[in-house]
């Protein structure tokens, strides 16, 4: 089984508009697919790659132009300075969970196996999904399920978990199903659990907070004319990226100067989101929800 198959590989690398001799950042190294393609076009440039998952380090590419850091991309600016880089010509991030993380039961990212409810992108994160399920109160859990999973029955789910954990802690997939199985709509089990797991994973890893940090720092790190390339997999991520590229903030509200000219850091290269072609989804069904947005720094 491949560690990961990158989504929208050609479209995203083309979107970087790589300049031979430039400096580029792969914020989500994973299996190294995007980095390998960048290196093919990089000439004598430099590539700095990030991955918070220790397992990804085993995919390191033997190339002196590449620096691979076992760090969260939310610390982009400081880590670039640490390796002697202040600015970059392009930044790419593929925000999906790797195949390896989904397919390794001990990581707890998939409900298709009766595995522990871990869901940490890095084993250095102190709190697992099971810790949240067994420690947060009903209101806090409902907030996670509503905000990050957009589940309409968030309060009922939280109440069922809080009630059930009094008798037995919620540690595994089967424990969670025991708590909330009666709430799953008939014929929608996979979609329902996918949203529930998404909510827990986002909370465990503070994924939206990390994405906001990356986007804000990208505006500082990129040179004028530099490209920001982001692949998202659900509406919460995509909304943040779309708003930031459009308006330079997360609300999407465009501010204007005295003359009515929009004040923004980026210009959207593709105003219409790019999605996988049918032939790609046939080869890799896991990429079907991928959404690619590209922007160029204009100031």
State the residue range of the domain holding 158: 106-205
131's CB contacts (< 8 A; 6+ apart) are: none
Distance (Å, whole) CA 140 – CA 155: 10
In this prediction, residue 255 carries a pLDDT of: 86
Q: CA dist 206 to 108, 129, 165, 198, 209, Å? A: 16, 12, 24, 12, 5
Which two three-digit tokens encode residue 290? 């991928």
CA angle at 97 for the pair 86 and 18, rounded to the nearest 5°: 40
* CATH at residue 25: 3.40.50.150
Distance (Å, whole) CA 148 – CA 135: 18
Structural domain tally of the chain?
A: 2
Q: How many CA atoms lie within 13 A of 190 on its CB side?
A: 1
Residue 3 lies in a domain: no
Same-domain pairing of 212 and 263: yes
Distance (Å, whole) CA 133 – CA 196: 12
Same-domain pairing of 281 and 191: no
Same-domain pairing of 35 and 86: yes
In this prediction, residue 104 carries a pLDDT of: 92
Same-domain pairing of 87 and 121: no
Residue 1 lies in a domain: no
pLDDT, tens digit, 9 for 90 and up, residues 114-131:
999 999 999 999 999 999
Distance (Å, whole) CA 172 – CA 129: 10
In this prediction, residue 256 carries a pLDDT of: 86
Residue 189 lies in a domain: yes
Residue segments in the chain with a per-residue pLDDT below the cut of 70: 1
Same-domain pairing of 201 and 115: yes
Residue 45 lies in a domain: yes
In this prediction, residue 1 carries a pLDDT of: 55
Same-domain pairing of 119 and 188: yes
How buried is residue 12: exposed, middle or buried, by Cβ count under 10 Å (0-12/13-18/19+)? buried
Same-domain pairing of 110 and 37: no
Same-domain pairing of 165 and 38: no
Same-domain pairing of 211 and 198: no
In this prediction, residue 254 carries a pLDDT of: 86
Residue 4 lies in a domain: no
Which two three-digit tokens encode residue 24? 């580029």
Distance (Å, whole) CA 6 – CA 95: 11
Domain end among 155, 170, 205: 205
Same-domain pairing of 49 and 25: yes
Same-domain pairing of 14 and 93: yes
Which two three-digit tokens encode residue 172? 């595994």
Residue 2 lies in a domain: no
Domain end among 156, 178, 205: 205
Residue 176 lies in a domain: yes
In this prediction, residue 96 carries a pLDDT of: 87
Same-domain pairing of 197 and 212: no
* CATH at residue 179: 1.10.150.170
Distance (Å, whole) CA 156 – CA 178: 14
Domain end among 205, 232, 262: 205
Residue 238 lies in a domain: yes
Distance (Å, whole) CA 254 – CA 251: 9
């Amino acid at each position: 089984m491949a560690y990961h198959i990158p989504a929208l590989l050609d479209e995203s690398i083309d979107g970087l508009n790589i300049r031979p001799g430039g400096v580029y950042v792969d914020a989500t190294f994973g299996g190294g697919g995007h980095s390998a393609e960048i290196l093919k076009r990089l000439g004598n440039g430099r590539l700095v790659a990030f991955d918070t998952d220790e397992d990804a380090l085993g995919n390191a590419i033997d190339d002196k132009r590449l620096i691979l850091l076992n760090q969260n991309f939310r610390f982009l600016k400081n880590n670039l300075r640490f390796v002697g880089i202040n600015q970059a010509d392009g930044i790419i991030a593929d925000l999906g969970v790797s195949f390896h993380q989904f397919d390794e039961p001990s990581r707890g990212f998939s409900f298709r196996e009766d595995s522990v409810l871990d869901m940490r992108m890095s084993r250095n994160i102190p709190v697992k999904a099971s810790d949240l399920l067994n420690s947060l109160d009903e209101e806090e859990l409902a907030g996670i399920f509503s905000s990050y999973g957009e589940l309409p029955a968030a309060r009922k789910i939280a109440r069922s978990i809080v009630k059930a954990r009094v008798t037995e802690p919620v540690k595994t997939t089967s424990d969670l199903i025991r708590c909330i199985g009666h709430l799953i709509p008939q014929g929608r089990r996979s979609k329902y659990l996918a949203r529930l797991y998404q909510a827990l994973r986002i909370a465990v890893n503070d994924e939206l907070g990390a994405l906001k940090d990356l986007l804000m720092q990208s505006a500082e790190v990129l040179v004028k004319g530099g490209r920001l390339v982001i692949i998202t997999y659900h509406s919460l991520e995509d909304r943040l990226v779309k708003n930031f590229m459009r308006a330079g903030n997360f609300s999407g509200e465009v501010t204007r100067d005295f003359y009515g000219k929009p004040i923004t850091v980026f210009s959207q290269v593709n105003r219409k989101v790019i999605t996988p072609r049918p032939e790609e989804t046939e080869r890799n069904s896991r990429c079907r929800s991928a959404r690619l947005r590209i922007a160029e720094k204009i100031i």
